[in-house]
Amino acid sequence: MRFGWTALALAALLGSGTIHDSAVHAQQQQQTTVPDAPKPQGAVPLSDVTSGPITPGIGTTAVPATGTSSSTQAQQPGQPPAPEPKDSIQTTPPEMPAPGEGFEKTGTIIRLNVNFVEVPVTVKDSKGNLVAGLTYRDFRVYENNVREPLRLFTVDPFPLSIAFVIDQSVTSDVMSKVNDSLDAIQDALTPYDEAAVFTYSNGSQERTGFTGAHSARLPAVLALTKATGSEEMIPYNSGPMAGCNVHVNGNCADPNIQPGRSVGSGPFITIPKEIHTLNDGILAAAKELSTRPKGRRRLIYVISDGKEYGSKASYRDVLRYLQTNQIAVYGTLVGDSARWGVGYVSRFHLPFTMYNNLLAKYSLATGGTLDAERGVNGIEKSYAKIAEEARTQYTLGYLSHQPVIDGKFRKIDVRVDRPGLEVIAKSGYYPNAEDLR
Query: Alpha-carbon Rg of the chain, whole angstroms?
Result: 40
CB burial of residue 15 (10 Å; 0-12, 13-18, 19+): exposed
Q: Is residue 247 part of a domain?
A: no
What CATH number corresponds to the domain at position 327?
A: 3.40.50.410
Residue 322: which domain range? 160-230+274-391
Supply the pLDDT for residue 51.
52
For residue 231, what pLDDT is reported?
75
Which of 109, 122, 112 has its CA nearest to residue 151? 109
Are 150 and 415 a contacting pair, CB within 8 Å?
Answer: no
Q: Is residue 22 assigned to a domain?
A: no
Q: How far apart are CA 97 and CA 105, in angstroms?
A: 7
Residue 345 forms part of a structural domain: yes
pLDDT value for 70: 42
Q: Give bridge partners of residue 119 from the DSSP assignment.
A: 396
User: What pLDDT is attached to residue 405?
Assistant: 74
**Residue 86 contacts residue 133 (beta carbons within 8 Å):** no
pTM reported for the whole predicted model:
0.69
Q: Is position 202 within any domain?
A: yes
- 323: CB partners within 8 A, 6+ apart: 365, 366, 409, 426, 428, 429, 430
Number of domains, the chain:
1
* Residue 265, in any domain of the structure: no
Instruction: Yes or no: say if 197 and 221 are a contact pair by the CB < 8 Å rule.
Output: yes
Q: Say if 25 falls within a structural domain.
A: no
Name the residue type at position 139.
F
Residue at 309 is within a domain: yes
Q: What is the pLDDT of residue 225?
A: 93
Computed from CA positions of residues 213, 217, 221, 224, in that sequence, does the dihedral angle turn out positive or negative? Answer: positive
For residue 185, the cross-strand partners are none
Q: Are 334 and 374 in contact (CB under 8 A)?
A: yes
Residue 398: the pLDDT is 94
Rounded CA-CA distance 299/73 in Å is 55
In the chain (437 residues long), the average pLDDT of successive 10-residue segments reads 49 50 53 58 52 53 46 49 65 77 59 75 93 93 95 92 95 93 93 95 93 94 92 58 58 58 53 82 96 90 92 95 95 84 54 71 94 91 92 92 83 93 95 69
The whole-angstrom distance between residue 355's C-alpha and the CA centroid of its chain comes to 28
The 10 Å Cβ neighbour count of residue 200 is 25
Residue 123 phi/psi, 5-degree rounding, is -120, 130
Indicate whether 303 belongs to any domain: yes
Q: How many CB atoms lie within 10 A of CB 223?
A: 11
